[in-house]
Structure 1
Amino acid sequence: MRPSGTTAVRERLGGPLAAVRPPGRYQVVQSLKAAAAAALAWALTGWWLAAPMALMAPWAAVALVQGTVYRSLRSAVELLAMMGAGTLLAAGAAALTGDTMTAMLIALPLTVLLGNWAPVGEQGLYAPTTALFVLAYGTYSLPAVGHRLLETGVGAVVGIAVNALVLPPVHSLQVRTLACALPRSCSQLLHDLSEGVVEEYDEARAERWHRAAGELPGRLSDLRAARGRASESFRFNPGHRLRRSTSSPSTDWDGVWALVANRLLTLTLTLWETASEHRGLPRPPDPPLRALGALFAAASEVCARNAAVMERGPDDACLQERAGHLAEARRALADAKEYLHAPGPDAGASLGSLVAGCQALLDDLTPGEDGSALPAAVRTGRT
């Protein structure tokens, strides 16, 4: 029985629709603030000032409800410069030619070039679009130009004020969320390795491990970017002390997991090469692989406990569990070292590479004396 047309369409759209996530609280709040700023700017210029082109004010207000108060202030300077330039160039071209089409042919190339050339980022688009609006309305007298510049300024002030005074955005929570996600991702990968190396893993499976390890540096980059947004969100923010914020780990935390990510990249690459038919590096024997599987399982638990320490703080029970798993991992490493002198130089080379990587991994995961997740490698600056 063939599916109906409605069912077929639903099946085709099921994947893309499932990937669409509902907007978060931050998106909803910022959208409502932008709408409120636009309405307030329209009311001030359209009703109170009786401006002839009240569109400029709400347009500027919406554009300046940015992700941080600092970004609103910085963007305001750029936006006012671009909208002012677009207004003046359009009015000048129209006054010079007396024809709207000819004025467009003069003003638009200049404003597009200005927007692309000036170091104003996305705000450069407002120069040509403002010129189009000015020419579309068709009033180019000096009072009209002054009104448009005034409307733009009012909209900018309203947008900045609403963003700064109504739930000003603070992004510290995202830093903590991403910082906790790093050890969880490492824990999951190590868990997969612990199950896979004791089985007859093939090249495709080993490649998936290496690809998963290759995603970790990208998550570190996301964490560093989130730190930048969090730091920026406190600049010129009059209400950040009234907003709920969360303490974030130090940047040394990033260094720990940068080291761990590099170890996992090396380990998974070696495993991939031992599974590849195109490489001359043979798979290590089963007994040392079982020892490495136990090591990966214990290291996975160490990473999971590190995530718990970051979320809840270093309670004694969690720290004892982490120390126990770390000791278990070192015992498994000692067991794997017993097979380093096994027959076959190639097999010894592949096992030696894995053992060296695992020993470095455990050193990276060894906590500091204060119970934190900062190993001696980070405290002494070793990379």
Structure 2
Amino acid sequence: MRFPGRYQLVQSLKAAAAAALAWALTGWWLAAPMALMAPWAAVALVQGTVYRSLRSAVELLAMMASGTLLAAGAAAVTGDTMSAMLIALPLTVLLGNWAPVGEQGLYAPTTALFVLAYGSYSLPAVGHRLLETAVGAVVGIAVNAIVLPPVHSLHVKTLACALPRDCARLLRELSEGVVKEYDEEQAGRWHRAAGELPGALSELRAARGWASESFRFNPGHRMRRSTPSPSDTWDVLWAQVGNRLLTLTLTLWETASERRALPRPPGRSLEDLSLVLAAAGKVCAADQTLMEQGPDDECLERRAGHLDEARRALADAMGHLHGPGTDTRASLGSLLACCQALLDDLMPGADGSALPAGRARTGRT
């Protein structure tokens, strides 16, 4: 279990402050001794983005108003709390499930319960509950929009840097492992690690959606400093690299499995393959540095050198395809074809990194 980060801590404190402010306003301005609806709405509307707070406010107000009116109407008709509950709860639960309001649908039946618990169903009392809800909604939106309004683009860059980092780590493990007598279990771990890369890409795409949404109706994002942010081309590139690693590790697993007929390549060819993988891992590590720190001539030079080193090692490894032992050519050829495609994917754009030139854009953090 991870400790909460800065974002979770800030949003939690904002929600608590919004609830306290809403309670104080309704208690002082409306003189409500149990102004529960206001802080409840305020907490619910300190959302992950300002846009989401505004959108959720409409849905929440509709559900809470419906729950209030249905509960008050049922109580007025029956004159009994239990009977009113038996009438109002099925209707409000059905409304919450049927209406296209997502998680906000839960507020219809829970509001009905709170209204019935108040025990006051007169028209002024119902109006009071609705006014408390509106005050809480305004306070929640205002606190979320004014006090450190959430912006998620920094998370995008963090996840974007994680892609080359994870690829570099896996390539290093492969480089160190193929020269040893790797077994089926170890090769299976490599393949599972490669299979986790698409999940990281999915997280990045989800973070992009949050980042884009967090700029909508956000009054504070223009005051944040601008930093380079990768375009969608970055995702496509590392999706391709991830697919190469998935194929590569699958082939290694098949060569290590006793249930497969694919033979293990000879030791000398695996030594050259190890050099290819090690150099490719250094290229990925350089891309991570470039994404974190921006263009740097020295880092670009090192990247180009590592890529040249990988190509030379690949050429040496391909020489083993013409040697004796035709039964191992299929497995070695498959591994080298994956490496060739991997290095082609890592060919630099005009800026020297794997990100094609002219496709980067500026984001805010």
Q: Which position in structure 2 is the counterpart of 1:249?
A: 230
1:210 corresponds, among 191, 194, 207, to 191
Segment of structure 1 superposing worse, 28-37 or 198-207:
28-37
| Post-superposition offset of 1:244 | 4.7
* 1:159 to 2:137 alignment: no
| Post-superposition offset of 1:311 | 1.1
2:346 corresponds, among 343, 365, 380, to 365
Pairing 1:217-256 to 2, within 5 Å after superposition: 217-244=198-225, 246-256=227-237
CA distance in structure 1 between the aligned counterparts of 2:25 and 2:295, rounded to whole angstroms: 54
TM-score, structure 1 length as denominator? 0.91
* 1:327 to 2:308 alignment: yes
Question: Which whole-Å deviations, capped at 9, do the CAs of 1:15-66 have from their partners, x for residues lacking one?
Answer: xxxxx33221111111111111111111111121113641000000000000
Aligned partners of 2:176 and 2:274 also within 8 Å: yes
Question: Which whole-Å deviations, capped at 9, do the CAs of 1:62-97 have from their partners, x for residues lacking one?
Answer: 000001000000100110011011001111111111
Pairing 1:142-153 to 2, within 5 Å after superposition: 142-153=123-134
**Unaligned regions of 5+ residues in structure 2, if any?**
361-365
Aligned partners of 1:182 and 1:219 also within 8 Å: yes
Aligned sequence identity (%): 81
Aligned partners of 2:74 and 2:87 also within 8 Å: yes
Q: Which position in structure 2 is the counterpart of 1:284?
A: 265
1:338 match: secondary structure: helix
CA distance in structure 1 between the aligned counterparts of 2:35 and 2:123, rounded to whole angstroms: 17
* 1:261 alignment partner AA: G
* 1:24 to 2:17 alignment: no
CA distance in structure 2 between the aligned counterparts of 1:371 and 1:341, rounded to whole angstroms: 34
CA distance in structure 2 between the aligned counterparts of 1:373 and 1:361, rounded to whole angstroms: 11
Aligned partners of 1:284 and 1:351 also within 8 Å: yes
Q: Which position in structure 2 is the counterpart of 1:127?
A: 108
Aligned partners of 2:233 and 2:356 also within 8 Å: no
Segment of structure 1 superposing worse, 176-185 or 341-350:
341-350
| TM-align CA RMSD | 1.5
Question: Which whole-Å deviations, capped at 9, do the CAs of 1:226-255 have from their partners, x for residues lacking one?
Answer: 111111110000111123564311111111
CA distance in structure 2 between the aligned counterparts of 1:282 and 1:363, rounded to whole angstroms: 26
2:82 corresponds, among 101, 104, 109, to 101
Aligned partners of 1:58 and 1:155 also within 8 Å: yes
Equivalenced residues, count: 359
Q: Which position in structure 2 is the counterpart of 1:316?
A: 297
1:136 corresponds, among 96, 107, 117, to 117
Question: Which whole-Å deviations, capped at 9, do the CAs of 1:277-297 have from their partners, x for residues lacking one?
Answer: 000101011111111000000
CA distance in structure 2 between the aligned counterparts of 1:124 and 1:356, rounded to whole angstroms: 53
1:101 match: secondary structure: helix
* 1:270 to 2:270 alignment: no
1:200 corresponds, among 175, 181, 206, to 181
Q: Which has the higher contact order (CA 8 A, sep 6+)?
A: 2
Pairing 1:49-128 to 2, within 5 Å after superposition: 49-51=30-32, 53-128=34-109
Aligned partners of 2:50 and 2:141 also within 8 Å: yes
CA distance in structure 1 between the aligned counterparts of 2:284 and 2:36, rounded to whole angstroms: 55
CA distance in structure 2 between the aligned counterparts of 1:286 and 1:278, rounded to whole angstroms: 21
Aligned partners of 2:85 and 2:116 also within 8 Å: yes
Question: Which whole-Å deviations, capped at 9, do the CAs of 1:105-143 have from their partners, x for residues lacking one?
Answer: 111111111111111111111111000000111111111
Aligned partners of 1:366 and 1:374 also within 8 Å: no
CA distance in structure 2 between the aligned counterparts of 1:96 and 1:79, rounded to whole angstroms: 26
TM-score, structure 2 length as denominator? 0.95
Aligned partners of 1:256 and 1:375 also within 8 Å: no
* 2:88 alignment partner AA: A
2:322 match: secondary structure: coil
1:247 match: secondary structure: strand
CA distance in structure 2 between the aligned counterparts of 1:47 and 1:239, rounded to whole angstroms: 30
Aligned partners of 1:170 and 1:234 also within 8 Å: yes
* 1:355 to 2:336 alignment: yes
CA distance in structure 2 between the aligned counterparts of 1:92 and 1:219, rounded to whole angstroms: 51
CA distance in structure 2 between the aligned counterparts of 1:76 and 1:275, rounded to whole angstroms: 57
The runs of at least 4 consecutive aligned structure 1 residues that moved more than 6 Å come to none
Aligned partners of 1:174 and 1:226 also within 8 Å: yes
| Post-superposition offset of 1:373 | 1.6
CA distance in structure 1 between the aligned counterparts of 2:98 and 2:324, rounded to whole angstroms: 67
1:241 match: secondary structure: helix
CA distance in structure 2 between the aligned counterparts of 1:345 and 1:286, rounded to whole angstroms: 15
Aligned partners of 1:172 and 1:246 also within 8 Å: no
2:229 match: secondary structure: coil
Aligned partners of 1:363 and 1:375 also within 8 Å: no
2:280 corresponds, among 299, 323, 331, to 299
| Post-superposition offset of 1:375 | 5.6
Aligned partners of 1:172 and 1:245 also within 8 Å: no
